[in-house]
Structure 1
Amino acid sequence: MIKQLITVFIFIQGFLLSAQQILNEKERAIVIDEILDDRFNNLLPKLMDAADLDMWVVISREYNEDPVIKTMLPATWLNARRRTILLFYRDKAKNTIEKLAVARYNVGKNIVSAWDKEKEPNQWKRLMQLISERNPKKIGLNYSTDHNIADGLVKTDYEEFMANLPKKYTSKVISAEQLAVRWIETRTEREMVIYDQLVDITHDIIAEAFSEKVITPGITTTSEVEWWMRQKVTDLGLETWFHPTIDVQRSKEELVSHLYSFSGRPEDTVILPGDLVHCDFGITYLRLNTDCQELAYVLKPEETAAPEFLVNGLKEGNKLQDFLTGNMIK
């Protein structure tokens, strides 16, 4: 038997994942666009105020998308189109936010096209007209030394932007890294409700993977469990956020660093009684990602519970976890 040691979450045992829990593609698109509407109209103004940035320009080209713009596209847009330029202007005094696209068409229902190619064929010139008309105090672009998620502006577009920008605004160009990171990391109330459900699905899959339905001690390998989890996610119509990792820890073997999970780890380690089995697993759904780690102990024939030292070690680890999370600053 396999005794589970839950590191973070407590969940109800049981391995039945109803397909009705997972929305079909059309239903997902509706939810994604509703969430985007809330994020653009209610969350973004607050984030721009907190970052002290009144204009944010996001520039990206098809098939080489800025990671930020990928989170802003409507559900029916799988990529940017040609060169897509988004301009967000926040007027705090009037409590308004403009969401404009320097593109030939609207970007979903929230971002309105502000470029008539017949009147102004040059996309960059039209962008500069919009900037000059609003006369921002600061212009945020997605470049960053420290935050890769906020460094999506490519060299070519940066150079084109700066070459076309009126000189009076050159000194106003700054990194939008604080705003970009906050946009990516902040979840709305509705997203958190959905996220809890996604976490439940993630833990249900782990529970099944850490059961005798999947693991036969002495036979099943870590690699087989990884691929079972990957296939399970695909069968549910979801995606893995990263390839699952399963590894084992044994009292008679030297404990190695976490890098062992990515490099140098035997792919076909047979899972044996007495093993402490660890997983690192995450799935993607409705543009949300989970990243969960759990432990399971494989009982020896004479055992009915995990060894006391493991149970106590888990308790101490959870105390440290609670201390850290309790002192995090939002």
Structure 2
Amino acid sequence: MHRLIMLAALLLVGAAPAAAAPAAMPPVLTLRERATLHDRLLADRLDTIVPKLMREQGIDMWVLVAREYVEDPVVMTMLDAENLHARRRTILVFFDPGAGKPVERLTVSRYGLAGLFQPAWNPEAEPDQWKALAKLIAARDPKRIAINSSALSQFADGLTLSQFEGLSAALPPAMRARFVRTDELAVGWLEARTPAEMKVYPQLLQVTHAIIAEALSNKVITPGKTTANDVRWWMREKVSSLGMTVWFHPSLSIFRKGQAAALQEDAVIQPGDMLWTDFGITYLGLNSDVQQLGYVLKPGERDAPKGLRDGLAAANRVQDALTSSYRVGLTGNQVLAAARAKAIAAGLTPSIYSHPIGFHGHGAGSSIGFWDNQNADPRGERPIRPNTAWSIELNAKARVPEWDNQEIEFRQEENAFFDGASVRYLDGRQTAFHLIGPAK
């Protein structure tokens, strides 16, 4: 009953709640409940986001073509919960007739995709799928036909060469001249988050944080016995037991006094170690991407050494420099420069490499720095848009007096939402270490 009440609440479209401190593991929906919610969220997106984007860009038709197992990244996010892949060749068509009329959603395929698209092909009447598409386009006579082909964004480059050739061959030269290669529709669709989605997204982060908290505890770690790989695989198993998936294999590194490089894999966790994890899961089509820190207490210790605590606080201050620098219309490169200037002026040593998140862990939109490039980059030239979700990923370097002034990267990553005015964390952020007690 509790789960059904929660599902009903999630289906309501409304403003996202304010971010809260990390919560305990919320109830996880069954696969069937997830499917219902997935399709409701998708219908809302199709009704609201696509028409807005097409009209902003002056596009009256958008054609997406995908083949089974070689799907356009956009098409994969437009399939209903029971269609896990394109069927043979799936063609989606959006057409804006203008005059304030609703945007048509058509599919030149055998299936209507849970009623989200109107089937527009009868193979018995016209066996050639490309000819059926050509007739549909000719009947509507669009002035600008958007296709997903891009040299810059992989998310807007889903139309393969063979499918472009098939589409082109089916149309007369005059109609082919109306093709518009644009990133704006694909990237705009993928990066935009709706109010309904933002009622769900914080729960994904609650699950993520709860798993990390358990992984970095004595429930999982026995100092002197447990290895980094033991923890990584425990996290994979935990996610699988919840009927979810990870979108990358979890990372766990051990930072130790006197060790120049982080220890990994079969290294055994010991008292006095600082632990770093990078972990992300997929739920309801959305992704999380979180990095947090733990500390293994030595006998008699009640907290991490002050130098480590100060390092985490420095990373929090870099987060503040970044999140306070978001402005609608600024590019990712401009946000990066502003945030770095603030952090450096405050005496910090920052490295910022943040990115959009949503349907993909490393999502569509403007990048804000890279770990190997803290200068302007072509991938950071897209303006920041409101109603987008972000992985606030960065580190601050600091020297730890208790570790003989050893310089350590204090890495942090938390997921947040930019509403156009401010950035807020979806489920809070880490400000204190996860503490693992000594072996009993």
Give yes or no for TM over 0.5: yes
Q: Does 1:169 align with 2:167?
A: no
User: Is contact 1:32-1:287 (8 Å) kept?
Assistant: yes
Question: Residues 27-75 of structure 1, C-alpha deviation per residue, up to 9 Å, x if partnerless?
Answer: 1111111111101112211122233322111101112222211111111
* One-letter amino acid matched to 1:275: D
Q: Determine helix, strand or coil for the equivalent of 1:284.
A: strand
Partner SS, residue 65 of structure 2:
strand
Q: Are 1:222 and 1:270, in contact at CA under 8 Å, matched by a contact in 2? A: yes
Say which of 22, 26, 32 aligns to 1:11: 22
Aligned equivalents of 1:209 and 1:50: distance in 2?
46
Aligned to 2:100: 94
Q: Which stretch of structure 1 is more off in the superposition, 305-314 or 24-33?
A: 305-314
Deviation at 1:306, TM superposition (A): 1.2
Unmatched 5+ stretches in structure 1: 1-7, 257-264
Relative to 1, partners in 2 of residues 1:37 and 1:166: Cα closer, same or farther, differing over 3 Å? Answer: same
Q: 1:92 to 1:306 in 2, by over 3 A?
A: farther
Q: Give the one of 194, 203, 215 matched to 2:209.
A: 203
1:209, 1:10 → 2: CA distance?
19
Matched, 1:80 2:86: yes
Look up the equivalent residue of 1:290 and give its one-letter code: S
Match of 2:432 in 1: none
Q: In structure 1, what is the Cα distance between the partners aligned to 2:98 and 2:321?
A: 38
Report the secondary structure of 1:96's partner residue.
coil
Equivalent in the alignment of 1:269: 267
Percent identical across equivalent pairs? 46
Displacement of 1:9 after TM fit? 8.3
Deviation at 1:205, TM superposition (A): 0.5
SS at match of 1:104: coil
The one-letter amino acid of 2:282's match is T
Long gaps (5+) in structure 2: 1-18, 329-384, 386-440
CA contact (8 A) 1:49 1:92 kept: no
In 2, are the aligned partners of 1:222 and 1:271 still within 8 Å (CA)? Answer: yes
Instruction: Return the alpha-carbon distance in structure 2 between the equivalents of residues 299 and 229 of structure 1.
Output: 22
Higher RCO (CA-CA < 8 Å; seq separation 6+)? 1
SS of equivalent to 2:127: coil
Q: How does the TM-score come out when normalised to structure 1?
A: 0.89
Shift of 1:105: 2.5
When residues 149 and 39 of structure 1 are mapped into structure 2, their CA distance, relative to the original with a 3 A threshold, is same
Following superposition, the deviation at residue 292 of structure 1 comes to 0.8
Aligned-partner Cα distance in 2 for 1:252–1:171: 65
- 2:254–2:264 contact (8 Å) kept in structure 1: no
- What is the CA-CA distance between 1:92 and the residue it aligns to? 4.3
Structure 1 runs of 4+ with >6 Å offset: none
Q: Deviations over 1:119-159 (max 9, x none)?
A: 32211111112222222222111221111122221111011
Contact 1:274–1:300 (CA<8 Å) still a contact in 2?
yes
User: What pairs up with 1:149-228 in 2 under 5 angstroms?
Assistant: 149-228=155-234
Matched, 1:49 2:60: no
TM-score (norm 2): 0.67
State the 1:255 CA deviation: 4.6
Q: Secondary structure at the match of 1:206?
A: helix
Contact in 1 for aligned 2:252/2:264 (Cα 8 Å): no
**Offset, 1:219:** 0.9
Structure holding more helix per residue: 1
Structure 1 CA distance, aligned partners of 2:21 and 2:291? 12
Moved more, 231-240 or 140-149: 140-149
Judge conservation of contact 1:217–1:272 (CA < 8 Å) in 2.
yes
